[in-house]
Structures are given as structure tokens and as C-alpha cells.
A and B are shown apart, each in its own frame.
Chain A
Amino acid sequence: MTTRKKKTDEVVVDVNDLHVTYDGRPILAGIQLKVFRGEILVIMGGSGCGKSTLLRTIIGAETPSRGAVKILGRDLLVLDEDGRNELRKRFAILFQSGALYNSMSVGENVALPLREHTDLDDEIIRIMVKMKLELVGLRDFEALMPAQISGGMKKRVGLARALALDPEIIFYDEPGAGLDPIVAGVIDKLIMDLSGKLGVTSIVVTHEMGSAFRIADRMVMLYEGHVVAEGTPQEIRASSNPLVRQFIHGEPDGPIPLRRSKVDYEEDLLA
């Protein structure tokens, strides 16, 4: 693995002192994060560490209790509807399950953003849909409905749809989860190509270490709502932080407890 430096100094996503609370329980506690144009940033951490919440807050699906997120210099929560929509056209999300529109065929799913947000001819849209589907290797599946294709295929169609409007930033929520190793590898390669060839910024939330180290330019690790480590894959691999070491090596014993219950086991049994 060769060292890759961050590609530019332009900050495209700026997370500043972000706090998110659910029913009084803090999920994110002061996240500080900058993402630079063209880089692939991997956000990793165990289940429940807040990485999905971080992603959802960045894209505007959750409201922070404190702090702010700026995407391409603008805050989704402050913009008016028009501004928000303009901004939303410049980034895309690959959801964990693909989130395809189940009432539309694969082709219509990919065509939808083009139909709704551009004035392109139907004929051109048809060609573009084929191109986007070819990127994920599913050109022949246009006419099928989401219910007729496998979970992995849904995800790939979801990626084709995310690419439809040529976004500047793509967020990936667990891109490899539930995929076989070959397809997961294809998606990893696609993420790297998009960044390397087109300068797309990628923010990848994952807990699959193999893929994370393969694609990342920079990694951050979350633990209990805090950023506990940040650096290039080399730096992370060489980290002496016991939290990081335990996580990347998948060791059952270490500072990260397996048991999440607060009450003492014996007391709980005898209560």
C-alpha cells in the first residue's frame, strides 16, 4: 500500500463541535471533522459508536443538539428550501440497503434524478442510465423491479442512482455490508476510481477493516461519540492507542468492553 496524501486543501465537509442526543442519551459528543476535496475518508467504529448517526446528521436527516455541519461551505439547516435542494443535488448517498424506490424499475430508479433535475431529452437520459448501470455492471437489469434483484444488486443500483447527477461528494453507509467479497471489492474499486479519476470526495462509514484500509486516504475512528483516532491508514495501523489496536485487530479483550450493560451482573441476577 503506497502512501496517499490528502489531495487538496479545500474543505468540502466541515463538522464543527457536533452534539447529538437521543432522549437525553448523548450519541455524538463534540465531533470535529474536516473532509477535503477528492479524498476518501473512512469513518470506522463498532456498532453503536455513533458513526451512522454522524452520517445521518451530516446529510441533514438528524438535527444536532449543538454544533453545525457545513457541506460545500453551506449549512443545510440554515438554508431555505431552494438553497437546500440546490445543495442536495451536489452530493449523493448510498444507503445501506440501497433504498431503491420499490415502485419503480431499476432503470427508472437511476433515471429519476435526471428526469426531475435536468432538462435532458428522454433519449439522452436512456443512454445515461445505461452508462451509470454499466459502471456497476448491471446494464441488462434495467427493466427489473427492485423486488426481483438481490440485496447486493440493489446496492449497486443504489450506487448507479447516486452517481446519476455526477455529485461532488458521495456518502456511503456500510457499502460492503451484506455483499459477497467480489462485489464488495468491485464497489471498493469504484469508490477509488471515482476519487482518483473524477475527483469525487467519498465519505465511507464502515466497520469492515479490510475494505477500509484498502480504500482510505484518511481514517477516523469513533468511540462512544468521540473521535478517538485520526490519520492515514499507515498511521492508524501503527497507532499505539489500545482502542484502535483492539478494533482493527478485532480482539475480544481490550479497553472496548463487550458487555454494554451498566449494572453489575451478580447484582442484576440477585436483584
Chain B
Amino acid sequence: MKTLLRLLGMSVLDFLGYVGGLALLFVDGLWWMTIGPFRNKGRIRRGETFYQMEHLGVRSFGIVSLVIFFVGIILAFQMAYVLKSLGVTVYVANITGVAMTREMAPLLVAMVMTGFSGAAITAEIGTMVVSEEVLALETSALNPIRFLVVPRVMAAMLIMPFVTLIATYIGIFGGFFVGNVLLGIEAEKYIHRTLDALKYRDVVTGLLKAEAFGILVAVIACHEGFRVTGGAEGVGRATTNSVVRSIIAIIICDMLFTAFFFYFL
């Protein structure tokens, strides 16, 4: 019993330490994004940030669209299954619209990003640690946070809301496809109902979540990358850790946000 408690205590401490590490990294990154450049400590690497935005946003776009379109279809079918028995199949439009905007699009975009970009960031930074590139940066008075973390986290912060917004449209279109083509709801009616159901705050909360998830994925990916020890095997382990921890973090964060929005917004 005592050892069990000790193990529990230790894992709680580990968890808190990990979250603390993430928070420190993020605050450090924010400092380099906002205050650092004005104190003449070193500019933001704009070219690299754009490159990362392209990597995160543009190149992941195909897979994001594909996934979210199919999820839209699935969602509409599942809703129709329940709604049909109540005789209100037409509500598919309302529900798909709201669910997509508030929940599905931010969540799925973040999940795809984790696998697509988070893993890549961890592997890249991890390899740099192993090959002494990060040490070379430090010893040439170049701060690795400014150099590596800022472009990636900033790119995620800038691009995630846009990707999510577009993904929301595509997801709703997936629902529309089912509703209109397969269930026979008139196009005009479907669109009208979707727009009717959506409130301004649905869009805002969805995008807020997207922003938070984007930061989480990028910060965790960088953090795991810097923690790599022990060669190629270490890089592999860190990449797995990065994906697993990002997914857990996203889900926890999503839950907290959703509960908060439910009660306070």
C-alpha cells in the first residue's frame, strides 16, 4: 500500500514536472516572440517561420481535408440514424454544423497535426541534439529556443485557426453531401438550417481550441525533441512519446475547454 502510494505520488510529481517543463518552454518561447526582439537579443527568424507554416498548414492540408470530409459524412450518417426514428432527419444539418465547428474540426485537425507535424518536429530537433547541432548553436551564442522553438510554435499559432476554419467548411460539406445527395434534404434548406444553428460563439470557441491545440502540439514536440538522449533509438522513442503525449494533452485540454464553455459561455 505504501509503495503504491509512493508510486502514485511519484507519477503525480513527474506529471507536474513535465507540465512545468512545457509551460517554461512556452513562456520562454513567448518571451523570444514578444520582448526579445525589441531588446535587441535577436530577431525572429521570419523565413523559417514561414517555412514551418507551409509545412504545418499547406502540406498537411490534403490529409486534413480528406479526414475531415469523411468524418463529416460519418457524423451525418450517425445523426441521421437517430434522428430518422424521431422523424426529424432534417436536423442532421444543425447537428453536423454545430458538432463540426465546436468539436470535430479542431480536435481532428490537432490529431492529424500531431502525427503529421508533431512527430516530424520531435524527430528533427532530436536528431539535431544527437548530432551536436543544438550544442553547436548554443556554443555559438545562438539560443535554441529562439532558433528552433519560436519558428515552430509561432507557425502553429498562426496557421492552426486557418486550417481549422477551412477544415470546418470541408467537414460541413461532408455532412451536406450525405444530407443532400443521400438523404434528400434540399440544398437550400440544409444550408439555411446549418447557418441558423451556428452561433458566433460556436465559431470562436472552436478556433480558440484550435489555437490551444496547435500550441500544445508544437510545444510538446519541441520539448520531447530537446530531451532526446542516446542516439537514433532515443529519437525514435521521443517521437513516439511526442505523439502519445500530444494526444493525451489535446484530449485533456479539450475536456477542460468544453466544460468551461458549457458553464461560462
Q: Is B256 an interface residue (CB 8 A)?
A: no
A29-73 to B contact mask, C-beta < 8 Å, 1/0 = 000000000000000000000000000000111000000000000
Determine whether the beta carbon of A100 is less than 8 Å from that of B140: no
Q: Is B4 an interface residue (CB 8 A)?
A: no
Determine whether the beta carbon of B139 is less than 8 Å from that of A88: yes
> What residues on B are CB-neighbors of A99 within 8 Å?
131-133, 135-136
Residue from A95, A102, A116 within 8 A of B42 (CB atoms): A116
Residue from B127, B133, B141 within 8 A of A117 (CB atoms): B141
> What residues on B are CB-neighbors of A100 within 8 Å?
133
Q: Which 6 A-B pairs have the closest CB atoms?
A: A85-B141, A88-B141, A99-B136, A99-B132, A95-B132, A89-B141
> What residues on B are CB-neighbors of A59 within 8 Å?
139
Determine whether the beta carbon of B140 is less than 8 Å from that of A88: yes
The residue in chain B whose Cβ has the minimal distance to the Cβ of A61 is B135
A84 to B141, CA, bound (A): 8
Determine whether the beta carbon of B140 is less than 8 Å from that of A113: yes
A91-103 to B contact mask, C-beta < 8 Å, 1/0 = 1110111011111
Q: Which A residues, 89 to 129, have Cβ-Cβ distances below 8 Å to chain B?
A: 89, 91-93, 95-97, 99-103, 112-113, 116-117
A60 to B135, CA, bound (A): 10
A85 to B143, CA, bound (A): 9
A96 to B133, CA, bound (A): 11
Most buried by B among A85, A89, A117: A85
Determine whether the beta carbon of A116 is less than 8 Å from that of B142: yes
> What residues on A are CB-neighbors of B136 within 8 Å?
93, 95, 99, 101
Determine whether the beta carbon of A97 is less than 8 Å from that of B135: no
B76-115 to A contact mask, C-beta < 8 Å, 1/0 = 0000000000000000000000000000000000000000
State how many angstroms separate the Cβ of B38 from the closest Cβ of chain A: 15
A95 to B140, CA, bound (A): 12
* B-side interface size class: 10 to 19
The residue in chain A whose Cβ has the minimal distance to the Cβ of B124 is A103
State how many angstroms separate the Cβ of B227 from the closest Cβ of chain A: 16
> What residues on A are CB-neighbors of B128 within 8 Å?
101-102
> What residues on B are CB-neighbors of A92 within 8 Å?
139-140
Determine whether the beta carbon of A93 is less than 8 Å from that of B141: no
Determine whether the beta carbon of B141 is less than 8 Å from that of A61: no
State how many angstroms separate the Cβ of B222 from the closest Cβ of chain A: 15
State how many angstroms separate the Cβ of A85 from the closest Cβ of chain B: 4
Determine whether the beta carbon of A101 is less than 8 Å from that of B133: yes
The residue in chain A whose Cβ has the minimal distance to the Cβ of B136 is A99
B119-147 to A contact mask, C-beta < 8 Å, 1/0 = 00000100110011101111111100000
> What residues on A are CB-neighbors of B137 within 8 Å?
101
The residue in chain B whose Cβ has the minimal distance to the Cβ of A164 is B140
Determine whether the beta carbon of A93 is less than 8 Å from that of B139: yes
A267 to B132, CA, bound (A): 41
A254 to B124, CA, bound (A): 45
Determine whether the beta carbon of B133 is less than 8 Å from that of A61: no
Known: A86-B141, A89-B140, A95-B132. 8 other contacts (CB 8 A): A60-B139, A92-B140, A93-B136, A95-B135, A101-B137, A102-B131, A116-B42, A116-B142
> What residues on B are CB-neighbors of A86 within 8 Å?
141
> What residues on A are CB-neighbors of B131 within 8 Å?
97, 99, 102
State how many angstroms separate the Cβ of B40 from the closest Cβ of chain A: 10
> What residues on A are CB-neighbors of B141 within 8 Å?
84-86, 88-89, 116-117
> What residues on B are CB-neighbors of A101 within 8 Å?
128, 133, 136-137
> What residues on B are CB-neighbors of A117 within 8 Å?
141
State how many angstroms separate the Cβ of B149 from the closest Cβ of chain A: 15
A85 to B42, CA, bound (A): 12
A112-154 to B contact mask, C-beta < 8 Å, 1/0 = 1100110000000000000000000000000000000000000
Residue from A88, A93, A102, A113 within 8 A of B133 (CB atoms): A102
State how many angstroms separate the Cβ of A270 from the closest Cβ of chain B: 33
Determine whether the beta carbon of B140 is less than 8 Å from that of A61: no
B16-52 to A contact mask, C-beta < 8 Å, 1/0 = 0000000000000000000000000010000000000
> What residues on A are CB-neighbors of B142 within 8 Å?
112-113, 116
The residue in chain A whose Cβ has the minimal distance to the Cβ of B146 is A116
A96 to B139, CA, bound (A): 14
> What residues on B are CB-neighbors of A91 within 8 Å?
139
A30 to B137, CA, bound (A): 29
Q: Can you name 29 A-B residue pairings with CB atoms under 8 Å? A: A60-B138, A60-B139, A61-B138, A61-B139, A86-B141, A88-B138, A88-B140, A89-B140, A89-B141, A91-B139, A92-B140, A95-B132, A95-B136, A97-B132, A99-B131, A99-B133, A99-B135, A101-B128, A101-B133, A102-B127, A102-B131, A102-B133, A103-B124, A112-B142, A113-B142, A116-B42, A116-B140, A117-B141, A165-B140
